[in-house]
Amino acid sequence: MVPTLGRPQRVVIKIGSSSLTSRHGEISLRKLEKLTAEIVCLKDAGYEVVLVSSGAVAAGYRKLGCSERPCSLPEKQAAASIGQGLLMESYSKLFLSHGYIASQILITRSDFLDENRYKNVRNTLNVLLDRGIVPIVNENDTVTSDRLRFGDNDTLSAKVAGLIDAEMLIILSDIDGLYSADPLKNTQAKPIRHVTAITPDIEAAAGGSVSAMGTGGMKSKIDAAKIAMASGITIFLGNASRKNIVSDACLGRAKGTYFKSLQPAGNLNQKKKWIAFNSGPEGEIWLHKESQLAFIEEHKCLRFNDICKLSGHFSEGTVIRVMDTEGDEIGLGVVNISSKELTRLIDLKTERSQLTTTVMEWDDFVCNLDVPCLAGITN
């Protein structure tokens, strides 16, 4: 049993395709029943739960007439359009049998790139959670192009966890967490139970996908862990087939790998989370050395005279990378001026000392020093 909480605790659960389907590629009702029952246990104890569910393509491709998982984008999207409905129908029936309502949220990466749409997704999820609904999130595979894909639901789940200020992200697949090497290839591989920082050794231990039904391997889970850890969220990786894996993960006693940073996550409000993990930088500016120190240490706004050069084409209100004189990234921030106007001002060399145009406010900037792993995260 999960102990009843004094207040709701938000948990995001991501389930992989191989953990939802049979070896023939069909939806496994037994696996769905097990997952649903474990989520219901959390709901009954007062938790607020968001489920990020894979499996749409895997569930739909055979009904599309394909003998094996399709490779072409149009066939994947067609299979997803069939499988998504089958998944939601099954989830809805199972949750209703326990007295809970499930809802569907289909997201594309462009929904997170745009700040207003990002806020809309957050507001919708908050309303659903406040009303006791179980939101079931998936990438909108039927319309998403490769250029605007999250890449896998591991990354999506980490970004959703940050979006709703979840305390925990549980990623379930068909293996017992992270090992020192691929356990299917190396019999000497040892399980890693606790990770407090994503080091080169940890990244080296991550291999490729271990299932023909899935798209994300251990590397994608490490990338997701970077995002979640930088947001101050605890992550658990474990095997979906284990009994009570969800409740045991919440209690800290499940067999698997726990990721929890020992460093503070920094004061990241939703604006800064969007800048750090979802915005997609469109250009770069380089700062003079003395300006860099004033900006980082004194939290002063950046003005035109602080910039020595820029690159890329960006408009007012977009996110760019802020670089030091050595070309190393300092952080990410929202600019108040376009690259076209900045270039024009740079060309006005004779009056530069009198130009005090504000380029970036400190409150619209996320510093790598304040957010562990930020420099290693790609949007």
Mean pLDDT in residue range 114-124: 91
Closest CA to 269 of 260, 277, 259: 277
107 Cβ contact partners less than 8 Å away, ≥ 6 residues apart: 121, 137, 138, 139, 140, 156, 160
Share of the chain above pLDDT 90, in %: 37
Domains annotated on the chain, with CATH: 10-259 (3.40.1160.10), 270-376 (2.30.130.10)
What's the pLDDT at 293? 82
Contacts by 164-167 with C-beta closer than 8 Å and gap 24+? 164/10, 164/12, 164/50, 164/122, 164/125, 164/126, 164/129, 165/10, 166/10, 166/11, 166/12, 166/50, 166/233, 167/9, 167/10, 167/11, 167/233, 167/234
pLDDT band at residue 219 under the 50/70/90 scheme: confident
Q: For residues 251 and 122, give the distance between their C-alpha atoms in angstroms, rounded to a whole number.
A: 27
pLDDT band at residue 143 under the 50/70/90 scheme: low
What's the pLDDT at 24? 73
Per-residue model confidence as pLDDT tens digits over 34-46: 999 999 999 999 9
Which tokens hold the place of 127? 């309303």
pTM over 0.95: no
